[in-house]
Amino acid sequence: MSTPAAAHAKAFGLLILMLSPCAMAQVVPIADVEALYSALDNPAYDGATLVLAPNTYHLSRKDAYDVDRKNLGRIELRRDMTLRGVVGDQSAVIINAYALPQDSYPQTTKDLVATGPNAAIRMGLGRNSLEWLTVQDAWKGQANIDTGLQKLDPGSTTIRLDHVSSTGSARGLNALNFGPETSGQHIDMEILNSEFYDNDIGQAQGVRIGNFQGAVGSSITIRISGSHFWNQGVGCLVVNNNAVSSKVTMESLGNRYDHNTAGMIVMGAFSSNSTRANGNTIALEIRGDSYVENTGSVGDRGGLIVMGTELASNAVAGGENNTVNVKMRDTLTLDNINADLIATGARFLMGQSATPTRNNKVTVEVKSFGTRRPVEQVNDVLPIGTKYGNTAKLVRN
């Protein structure tokens, strides 16, 4: 027999369920690309989960009436929106951006506000997710997927990729705080059981992570697990590029980086033109990864490449007081071209004439590499010469 207390508890439980984000989220079935565009344009679907039927969704700049679509045919997720394909088969739903022209990817708005790199799918308003689908062939854009919308959501954004494949672009994913407008902003991101491969156009990177082009005090926390990066220039690039006092905190857990030119490149700071990249940090924990047979022929070559800073311009000094700390455990690194593990405090231009970069620190702690010791290169500075306080240190536990 139900008691008043039991009835009250049941009612309270139902109320909590009704108020929970999962209970309140709309689930919207999507059958074709026109239904997808319509849902993306509808403010009533903020917070909704769009569930895409098995299909190839061909993106286009114009609709059937030759009228420009909103966002010039790009997919821009609404606030707190999730895009989900067929659970159990990420190849059943394909978002194909091959037909989007180059002008579908502007790097400024019509009001000349800089947006930074652009992509076929853009995320970053509140909590956005992509699940169980493939994104491909944004060959005239800067990436298949990016986080460019976080500029419209000051503060922080939470982004999740789960069982996503990304292929056929210059980059599979851009996870960036880009430009001064993102100063002080934070991205919290998780990538699970995903694939980034054959992104071999132009820059050719599977995933690019970092704070870019004038961002000050910005930060990214990212966890990547169970994912695979192959057949690109760089499987994964982590860098503070012309940023100041910014930070990346990253975990790479049980991922595979193979058959790229470089498996992963981690760079505390990159300075170019007249921009200084000073006071940045990267903290990376690696557990159970493999960096194997990265043997490409163009660009930096090797398994895992870690650098405190690089100065790529004689216009002005830059790249001072940056710190990179890497902790590696149970990691397989072998049969990579050049070296399996490369650690460099600072790298300068040949014939450097600008004031050299100073006081950049790289520490790589290694535990349990396995029975076969990797080929290693460790240098405080390159080209080898005066150190200017730059150091690279390999510590074995």
Tell me if 62 is assigned to some domain.
Answer: yes
Contact call for residues 210 and 238 (beta carbons, < 8 A): yes
Count of the separate structural domains present in the chain: 2
Instruction: Judge whether residue 340 has pLDDT over 70.
Output: yes
Same domain, 107 and 33: yes
If residue 222 lies in a helix (H) or strand (E), which one and from where to where? strand 219-225
Query: pLDDT digits over 236-252, tens only?
Result: 999 999 999 999 999 99
| Structural domain contains residue 16 | no
Residue carrying structure tokens 């309270």:
12
Q: Which amino acid is at 302?
A: G
Let me know whether 149 and 251 are in one domain.
no
End-to-end CA distance of the chain: 63
The answer to whether the bond into 383 is cis (omega within 30° of 0) is yes
What pLDDT, on the 0 to 100 scale, is given for residue 12? 43
164 and 263 housed in the same domain:
no
**Each residue's pLDDT tens digit, 188-218:** 999 999 999 999 887 689 999 999 999 999 9
Please state the separation of Cα 166 from the chain's center in Å: 12
- Among 147, 170, 193, the domain-final residue is 170
Q: Are residues 166 and 238 in the same domain?
A: no
Looking at the structure, tell me whether residues 44 and 118 fall in a common domain: yes
Q: Are residues 254 and 396 in the same domain?
A: yes
pLDDT at 58 over 60: yes
Domain encompassing residue 370: 233-397
Query: Are residues 249 and 331 located together in one domain of the fold?
Result: yes
On the question of pLDDT at 11 being above 80, the answer is no
Is 225 among the domain residues? Answer: no
Task: Establish if 18 belongs to a structural domain.
Answer: no
What pLDDT, on a 0 to 100 scale, did the predictor assign at position 299? Answer: 84
Reported as a single tens digit per residue, the pLDDT across 363-393 is 999 987 655 678 999 999 998 888 999 999 9
Lowest mean pLDDT among 61-65, 105-109, 313-317, 386-390: 313-317
Is residue 72 over pLDDT 70? yes
Residues of the chain by 3-state class (helix, strand, coil), percent to 5:
10, 45, 45
pLDDT at 332: 92
183 token code pair: 């100063």
In a domain, 135, yes or no: yes
Residue at which a domain ends, from 152, 170, 188:
170
Number of Cβ within 10 Å of residue 297's Cβ equals: 8
Same domain, residue pair 147 and 257: no
Reported as a single tens digit per residue, the pLDDT across 269-323 is 998 877 789 999 999 999 999 999 999 888 899 999 999 999 887 766 668 999 9
- Tell me, what's the pLDDT at 354? 61
| Residue, of 198 and 108, whose pLDDT is higher | 198
Q: Which of 254, 259, 239 shows the shortest CA–CA distance to 289?
A: 254
Separation between Cα atoms, residue 156 and residue 126, nearest integer Å: 7
Residues 368 and 268 occupy one common structural domain:
yes
Concatenating the DSSP letter of every residue in 69-116 gives: PGGGG-EEPPTT-EEE-BTTBTTSEEEE-TT--GGGS-SB-TT--B--
Of 137, 170, 203, the last residue of a domain is 170
- Residue 371 pLDDT: 59
Q: How far is CA 138 from CA 85, 99, 244, in A?
A: 19, 8, 30
For residues 258 and 397, state if they share a domain: yes
Distances, alpha carbon 281 to alpha carbons 250, 320, 361, in Å: 11, 11, 10
Please state, in angstroms and as integers, the Cα–Cα distance from residue 213 to each residue in 117, 140, 143, 152, 371, following that order: 11, 22, 17, 17, 42
What pLDDT, on the 0 to 100 scale, is given for residue 370?
59
Residues 253 and 162 in one domain: no
Degrees, nearest 5: CA angle 337-340-346: 100
pLDDT score recorded for residue 298:
81
Residue 195 covered by a domain: no
Residues 260, 233: contact at Cβ < 8 Å? yes
Instruction: Choose among 18, 93, 98: nearest CA to 50.
Output: 93
Pair (124, 237) in one structural domain: no
